[in-house]
Structure 1
């Protein structure tokens, strides 16, 4: 029995020694992405054959690259201190490129990234007068593509720029045709320049044709019609302007200046102003009109009085006296008198 136990212990010892003497399995070596190991640069791979783009797609990529440059680069090399991105010409050109790119969007790309209405605002705000027709066409195409409706900023810019730039008739046409341009009338302060532009409009009297789209290319009847249309639009969008003497004076002065004196709408406008009496008109001008526009109201009343005197109208004295009271009793009129 003792021999058996010794043999059993020996066998156990031999087995343990054999187990410890077996080599351990080798662990996987680190991959060759160590900081000390050289790496193969990505550009060392074999380049794939470049695909050729259609001509239209190449133009699209080029336009997009130009937009990135215009938005990030302030100065051209070699022209120290001359900021090109801030000029109206460059901003207008950039807006034109963005518009062309927007009009090319279709389907899923259009739904994923609808164009911003700021494109139209930048066009209108940076256009020169001879480019107003392009702005009008851009707004029309925008509506035809059923893009996002422009916000209130666009009609404000259009009214101000077109009214001061000799295209007031065009501005009225765009505001009146809401089904084409989708623009609501802006605030009263933004409509005043359009009224004033119509009152200053001079039909072309020379043999050289006036540029299309300008007020000088419109006939006297078209100018007067635009003034009355704008008056109606103003009262629809701003009922509080029903007692505003400035818009009435603008329309009446425009009509008389363009030879319309005896029509029912002109006679109704004369009566509309005369029945208010001088006191309420002076009070309205003093408390509700900016001083700048009170001075303009004085000028309009004087022009109306002169036109009615020439036609021997009995209301001429009322408008002449009203102009004097406005100049004497309002801050804006006094400033005009001292100028």
Structure 2
């Protein structure tokens, strides 16, 4: 066996793809660079070199307080939310075999938003809001699964059911907003936009715990099966993949990730759509490409947060992702239509 053949055999068995590794590494480097810039951004600007020194415990007392106590929790929350959204979006797109299979489109995010909005209007606490967002996202996933995917998540049928569910939940959210008072509505609208303002370890800690539990499940238990499942249900079943169990487990695990991300930062739009689709275009590899998607999701959200803080007036991060993501969605629909897939 030649060296080239041996390397190809090893890569096929362990799933190592040099292009995917390169995409992940570049995204991680980009995330680190933008993170340093973000930590130095604010009313008290800090030079990148001083930010790095402060992170290693060599800054002044003021720099240590600003970087490690005020800005670092927000940054970590942004990274974790980006990773959770990217992983959830990658799984959904792989399940329905369609780049439009995003939790933003399928109504999962709307379920989290509607439940959280109800808590806000009723004057609930931040903890109750977070729990309601998680419960609402999982409930929406359950309803969509029962209506459109119980016997198989078939592409456009599942997407259409999700779009219908999202429309219903949007209407309910609009009604709830009409029932709230001005202060409650202002709080609700800020949350619905998606924002990292005021985020601290209270949001980052639980999300980190959820990621620590769910990512090994997706990477080790679901990832290889999802790659095979993209070839079709019959082919996957013939190769010994438990199609029904895999679909259900991956669906609700991804829904949990997206719901927890919404609980931490609100329904940040389009990251779950852009990150996995862009990752697949860059890696040119089958399957959900979870590892590079995680890195790219973190980069997208940290970069969006940095841009949001550099406008004439600081903006919620959801405004930036909504503008960029909306343009990306229009481009995606155009390319899919030209390719004859819609």
| TM-score normalized by the length of structure 1 | 0.21
* Structure of higher CA gyration radius: 1
The structure with higher relative contact order (CA 8 Å, sep 6+) is 2
Select the structure that is richer in helix.
2
| TM-score normalized by the length of structure 2 | 0.21
